[in-house]
Amino acid sequence: MLIVRSWLQRLVPGMALGAASWLGVPPAAAEPARGLVYPKPQKAEVVDEYHGVKVADPYRGLEDPDSEASRAWIEAENKITFAYLGEIPQRERIKQRLTQVWNYEKFTSPKRYGSRYFFLKNDGLQNQYVLYVSETLSGEPRPLLDVNAVSPDGTIALAGMDVTDDGKLLAYGLSAQGSDWQEWRVRDVESGKDRDDLLKWVKFSNASWTKDGKGFYYSRYDEPDEATKFEAVNYYQKLFYHRVGDPQSADKLVYERKDQKEWGFTGEVSDDGRYLVIRVNKGTMRKNLIFYKDLQNDAAPVQELVRDFEAEFDFIDNDGPVFWSRTDLDAPRYRISAIDTSKPDRAAWKTLIPEAKDTLTATDVVGDHFIASYLQDAHSQVKVFTLDGTMIREVPLQVLGTAGGFEGRRSDSETFYSFTSYLHPPTIYRYDVKTGAANAFRQPKVAFNSDDYVTTQVFYRGKDGTPVPMFISHKKGLKPDGANPTLLYGYGGFNISLTPMFRPSNAVWMEMGGIYAVANLRGGGEYGKEWHEAGMKLKKQNVFDDFLAAAEWLTANKYTNHSKLAIAGASNGGLLVGAAMTQRPDLFGACLPAVGVMDMLRFHKFTIGWAWQSDYGSSDNADEFKALLAYSPLHNLKAGTSYPPTLITTADHDDRVVPAHSFKFAAALQEANSGPNPMLIRIQTKAGHGAGKPTSMQIDEVADQWAFLVRTLGMTVGDKADDSGTPGKGKSGPS
């Protein structure tokens, strides 16, 4: 099944540059934010009591983004922010260079359905990727779905898709303005025309066709209230079957649980067409159930195979009644097990590929082989096994990077994968499963010379002595003189791993003389279940401590100094930045929190926020409330503190992390800050959490962020003395 999900959310097109003098403008000196007068949002005497503790929430009114007062505040904040950014002379040249670097052909790995191959392509600066189909691998591809034609401003995005086994029908979902809500349609591949099918109120769902191509399974919620659809909580997801040609009202309800409002369902038809496998999730908890239905018997009930939320189970494939699964049950770094549905007792489960030292992150079965992807200290390692679990080879990967793809069917002789690093954009490879031959299939041509740059991996000690890996990328010949502008990025949550990936924005940053560092914090999935759980709930402070320790290591080892060190993160990473800057405002020269979770006491009251309680805990629990209050960025701002220059970014249609988090944090930060540094918020309109954001919006946002850093870090980009590649020292950053 071809799903536009994690790779589309993470892939940021682009590539790099030449000498550090391309800006061609005078050096920027760090300077105070003179004349900034922030708007005063309405304040109210709102006080909540949690377990005997009273907590004020004076900016509660900003939780309604559509009120007259909120709209006025948003407009006033944007006016200040864009005026400030527009005055930075390097900003336009940064945008021009980002545009040049971004402008190269980008492809995803092709996948075969029937005799046809399907893949996504972006010519360079298209706002959204275009779906192509080719009758043969070497044939001339034709565009099948171009959402750019539907939305000239690029605010409608492809959110997911699946193709019938014979390659004749496409089911695809679209999201508008960055919302998680999707509408699904069906397109005839031969004619390129849509049928009448229209499915609404779909969210957090895939589509999976039956073997006969007559219909597909998908998940949806009940129709929400139009006025609150971007803020109201999402409960009671249901799994449906849609038969092509029928109205949505005729769709068959396959499974629901009226007694479990938090359960979500993902239906997947096994490659042999025999089973509907249902993954049952509870929020973002990395533990799930596995149910299934025998599709040979329409009256067959849904069977519960894995009944307890005690581990993660990813269905891989099946051999008749035997289901293969990747699981961390009794294996914190995952193994592959075989479960015979005719003998479902746990005592009969078998291990095919045992847990290894490295973390098993994904597995597929292609050409009667398991292709297993591992993380070895946060970079990819791929191994090929026979179906009895015997390892036969590794897929050769030359540098510290990330390999992804390897999709296919048991009958396929070939598969495709992409490989990328911090310095190399994704190259697509064709892999012969039988021989192990890997040949470059599509290789991008970009304006960035990776030979001029280097990525190294270091291990530093967290506050409690735990070794933590960090990737550091920069131009070759960089001198560790303690004066290099440095951007430290992190995430640290939800079992998500940060692995090497090329982004044109970071290529431009490095060409400007910057160091780009990524810390693989606890809370992520780099080392499996134990690494994740070490940064959850009552242990969440470990994540922030690891991040602060990374900052201290970079300064202690003379990569940079506090006035030249910026930090960035998005979503849970935005929370990370918010917590770090409120706990150690002295440590940073600038902060870039994006779409962050900033109010840790009320996050579960909006849209899908309740699902994050698996990682964060809840203010409804006395012990967890205490931990949340201790680090919640909104609640740990202290009046009279001089905070580092800060540019908050969010979007008015973000229905994942609602913009109220950033709104309230910005208002409170502006009120609390005592120093001259700018405290700005950039509020994108007609956009959401980030997935599907148009290329033009991405370039504009990064140009603003890099310009902000040029000014606040006092960077000397553009100084002709910098042609050697050694970053200029510039003047001291703001205090």
- Could you give the angle at the alpha carbon of 378 between the alpha carbons of 374 and 380, nearest 5°? 40
Query: Are the C-beta atoms of 265 and 238 separated by less than 8 Å?
Result: yes
Query: Are the C-beta atoms of 207 and 160 separated by less than 8 Å?
Result: yes
- Residue 27 pLDDT exceeds 80: no
Residues involved in catalysis: 571, 689
- Residue 394 pLDDT exceeds 70: yes
Position 233 scores a pLDDT of 77
Residues in the chain: 735
Q: What percent of the chain has pLDDT over 70?
A: 91
Cα 412 from Cα 403, distance rounded (Å)? 20
Secondary structure (3-state) at 572: helix
Cα 617 from Cα 542, distance rounded (Å)? 15
Position 655 scores a pLDDT of 76
The per-residue DSSP string of 644-698 comes to PPEEEEEETT-SSS-THHHHHHHHHHHHHB-SSS-EEEEEESS--SSTT--HHHH
What are the pLDDT digits (tens) for 178-236? 788 999 999 999 999 999 999 999 998 999 999 999 999 999 999 988 776 666 778 89
Mean pLDDT over each residue of the chain, to the nearest integer? 91
- Could you give the angle at the alpha carbon of 331 between the alpha carbons of 326 and 333, nearest 5°? 75
CA distance to 389, 623, 717, per residue, from 510 (Å):
43, 43, 11
- Residue 208: how many other CB atoms lie within 10 Å: 20
Tell me the Cα Rg of the chain.
Answer: 25
Position 162 scores a pLDDT of 97
- pTM equals 0.90
- Residue 259: how many other CB atoms lie within 10 Å: 6
Distinct helix (H) and strand (E) counts, the chain: 11, 39
Cα 456 from Cα 620, distance rounded (Å)? 43
Q: Do strands 130-134 and 142-146 pair parallel, antiparallel, or not at all (unpaired)?
A: antiparallel
Secondary structure (3-state) at 55: strand
What are the pLDDT digits (tens) for 176-193? 877 889 999 999 999 999
Position 19 scores a pLDDT of 30
Q: What percent of the chain has pLDDT over 90?
A: 84
Q: Produce one character per residue of 665-685: b if its CB has 16 or more CB atoms within 10 Å, e if not.
A: bbbbbbbbbebebbbbbbbbe
Q: Which of 683, 665, 670, 681 is nearest to 643 (CA)?
A: 670
